[in-house]
Chains A and B, each alone.
Chain A
């Protein structure tokens, strides 16, 4: 048995450490440990501040999914204070959320995940003419030709398409070869390029994918332009409680939003559709197909057993979330939990999750059995509204407190808490969302699917046909997790277009309102209030929980996608999603755990959001002022 430590895990946000025990003879992973190794304490910092400012603090939980926490926070505060946002603000926030998802998935696939599948070194062996031919085959075979719900003709033709010429691939290959020959490999240095898994793809596919890696590095910024127009910048665009700050006027030449500004957003949305249709979806499906054909259907872990999602994209405005109204007109009603999808959709079991479930302390709760915190009552999990955390760092099993050798899998070993649904673990993410919607429709729980829900089913069936495998076989795997993220990017590009169209029609009908400031003044608020904000973020189900007292934040908790997936084990609930996915994966060469990086990266780990957790009712720490004026 070999004990392997991978720390830091590269190509992720934040600080993650992995320890695995591998049987060297069989390559079987016997045990796996996932640890979030940093803690920032933002929820403690938010305490006592103005709830109208809180989104700005919460947004800084993560700069990668750079707006999802703002949205989660705004929704929580608005839920607590009973604020209904105008319909234009809902459309604009939805466009921003959808473009965020397209962008995040694109950067994840090409820049944070691709190098687990493709290699610039292998690309050097490619024949550029054959690469051009393969590019054409890929476009023909793996493009899913969905058209979305809204016809549009503001683009004369799809301007973004991969170049399928010998000269283009020759040029790219020359450039890569200069980098490799220079010896200054920079970010490409030192990787397991000699690993046999890189032989799964022919050199021409490596060259195609590396060309697109470079191409997308330059183009990704244009996907998220709606944030810059509506929110003034990216990362970290601006919002306000009650709506959006970007007033709309067709009569004022200095207006934040007018026709010219909307046209900029439109171009960006059209570009997103072209990029996902012509690059992302064909690339991910072509690579996935080759890996599946080579027998890579592992790494599913928890996905086939239990997945959770909250649902998102309120089609129209709603009165609240905790009262259940939010769930009535969602474009994607993925709210719910599905168990046993791995046994086929007919045998899968669906459990609803909405309204009153959110306030039931038995449904959603967090535990700290293996986390560096202590609870007042040992072993009793707590609902986020009444969560208690007090940091209690205990150090590693071997080594010292500031120089670890091995962490203590039997004791506490992570700054991440363990969230649970009905006392059980669940995986979240685009794969979870797709599994829930597919199950709900196939089992007749959703009888009249929205266009977006129908598109999810159509996408899954198209890919199942391509791979010649049923959904329960290909979806809960490393390949499936990665492929579904590509499908989700395509879906979200069309969602941007859909809400852009709604926004235009609303303005056309004479409504330009973007903010509801009727309850802006704290004097109008109740003395005590609590709310929940839900968002189906690029990495999965996100929930923010706030309690407000006398106009100030009294308690704040965020239960985030990476907490669900990266959490430490629990003696009753078992392993978390990362840990279980590693245990399911075989490692060919113990010293070169490429498979472990690949399965972990398939979750798009983003640790900043998982490792800030703190509760305002926790033990008071020493207050240190860095303010030079005090």
Chain B
């Protein structure tokens, strides 16, 4: 338990060649979205950093985030668990249970004070002192505070840990909250998604493994390298949006042709995630590619922004394809306005839902020619 190997030492022990080690480092650099100039730093880190002890706890959740984790392709979950980190506690994969498992948790905290990363999956219910989620006869609320105390950093894994998730949707009967609502004074990062894209999660873990610190975050505490763009910014159907070519109802001609899903409720214009860039399962697909509008599953409070099949009320829609120059101008306008407006977009939308505003009126308002003129 005392001596911890580095990634390179482990490769040596397992008779893996230096060449394979370097190839692994190059692959890791690329999955983390870093440029090639970072490769030497990744190699250096992998040579020197000891294996990272990890404690993985479960609160109010559905285990979808564990499942997404084991679907990771780069790195493979098996390589991560068996080679790159020391997963010291995780009740879903652990061989043992009961008091032995609880003992393992205490041993890990004792052996690696201030050195382990806490990955928390699920929300923390705080109603009635936490009795709606009991593990080992104690509320998970107590356990998360206890484990966080000596953690080096905390990863809020998935939308439940990051924002409270589905159980925090109205009326939130168990008073479920994000981990950061009950823990403070620790470096903490949000990796939202319902579930997160597998490589977004493993990429965030690998960043810590290699650089010994959490990756740079945006103003909401999410890793910029994975949440820097809206789905809309890199959507492969974006040209259809810009040309005013929309699916009007499911399975219509436009749906078969793969046009923009905005009018059937796509949240892409206000959803920050890597689905457009990375897609799911190493580029295999993502909901929009399979014909389903984005529900913004990584966004705070997205559950209460239903109904999901109503179009977003305040996204300016281009309405012509006749003039290429005009389309270009609209595109520029929409992008700038979209980014600036994002902060208020969900607020406005939410208020509109709250006021039970007539959707038809919203649509009419935003389709007015003046709106387009503004953008030009």
Contacts and interface: CB of A to CB of B under 8 A. Distances in A.
Interface of A: 5-15, 17, 37-42, 44-45, 49-50, 52-53, 56-57, 60-64, 66, 107, 111-112, 115, 174-175, 178-179, 182-184, 186-192, 214, 217-218, 220-221, 224-225, 228-240, 242-249, 251-257, 264, 391, 393, 396, 399, 401-405, 415, 512-515, 517, 520, 593, 597, 608, 614, 621-630
B290 A515 contact: no
Contacts of B100: 190-192
B128 A60 contact: no
B171 A256 contact: no
Given A186-B88, A233-B287, A253-B258, 16 more contacts: A6-B98, A8-B135, A39-B132, A50-B307, A62-B64, A63-B65, A192-B100, A218-B76, A224-B71, A225-B281, A236-B195, A245-B250, A257-B290, A393-B131, A404-B138, A515-B250
A192 B96 CA distance: 7
A230 B290 contact: yes
B260 to A, nearest CB: 11
B142 A402 contact: yes
A597 B90 CA distance: 16
B289 interface: yes
B58 A235 contact: no
Given A191-B96, A232-B286, A178 B280 contact: no
Contacts of B350: 627, 629
Contacts of A12: 91-92
Interface string B74-94: 001110011000111011111
B292 interface: yes
A28 B351 CA distance: 62
B13 interface: yes
A512 B287 CA distance: 19
6 contacts: A10-B94, A10-B98, A17-B134, A111-B70, A184-B4, A624-B171
Contacts of A621: 171, 173
A520 B95 contact: no
A242 B250 contact: yes
A550 to B, nearest CB: 14
A40 B60 contact: yes
A608 B61 contact: yes
A53 B353 CA distance: 15
B249 A517 contact: yes
**Most A Cβ at <10 Å: residue of B164, B165, B255, B346:** B255
Given A37-B133, A190-B101, A621-B173, A13 B92 contact: yes
Interface in B256-312: 256-259, 280-281, 284-293, 295, 297, 300-301, 303-304, 306-309
Interface in B26-58: 51, 58
Nearest to B351: A629
The 7 closest A-B CB pairs, nearest first, are: A63-B64, A254-B258, A232-B287, A10-B97, A238-B292, A404-B137, A232-B290
Nearest to A216: B78
Interface residues of B, number: 114
A182 B136 CA distance: 29
Contact of B167 (A45, A512, A622): A45
B200 interface: no
Given A8-B101, A50-B306, A63-B65, A41 B167 contact: yes
B131 A228 contact: no
A5 B134 CA distance: 14
B355 interface: no
A228 B300 contact: no
A233 B285 contact: yes
B295 to A, nearest CB: 7
B129 interface: yes
Contact of A402 (B68, B125, B129): B129
A6 B93 CA distance: 16
Nearest to B121: A63
Contact of B309 (A52, A235, A252): A52
Interface string B81-123: 1100011101111111111110110000000000000000000
A107 B131 CA distance: 31
Given A62-B63, A520-B249, A247 B88 contact: no
Contacts of B250: 240, 242-243, 245, 247, 515, 517, 520
B104 A217 contact: no
A38 to B, nearest CB: 4
A165 B64 CA distance: 36
A255 B350 CA distance: 32
Given A45-B173, A57-B166, A190 B67 contact: no
A214 B137 contact: no
Contacts of A60: 62, 64, 165-166, 194
Contacts of B73: 221
A252 B174 contact: no
Most A CB contacts (10 A, CB to CB) among B94, B194, B195 go to B94
B20 interface: no
A180 to B, nearest CB: 12
A232 B261 CA distance: 14
B333 interface: no
**Among B236, B281, B286, residue most surrounded by chain A Cβ atoms (within 10 Å):** B281
B67 A66 contact: yes
A255 B307 contact: no
Nearest to B304: A627
Contacts of A41: 167, 173-174
B136 A40 contact: no
B172 A625 contact: yes
Given A221-B70, A230-B290, A623-B171, A62 B139 contact: no
Interface in B124-177: 125, 127-139, 142, 163-177
A103 to B, nearest CB: 9
A115 B134 contact: no
Nearest to A594: B96
B95 A187 contact: yes
A401 B91 contact: no
B173 A614 contact: yes
B19 interface: no
Given A63-B61, A626-B301, A402 B139 contact: yes
A189 B95 contact: yes
Contacts of B195: 63, 235-236
B251 interface: yes
Contacts of A61: 62
Nearest to B136: A7
A402 B138 contact: yes
Nearest to B79: A218
B94 A49 contact: no
A178 B71 CA distance: 25
Contact of B91 (A10, A404, A627): A10
Contacts of B164: 626
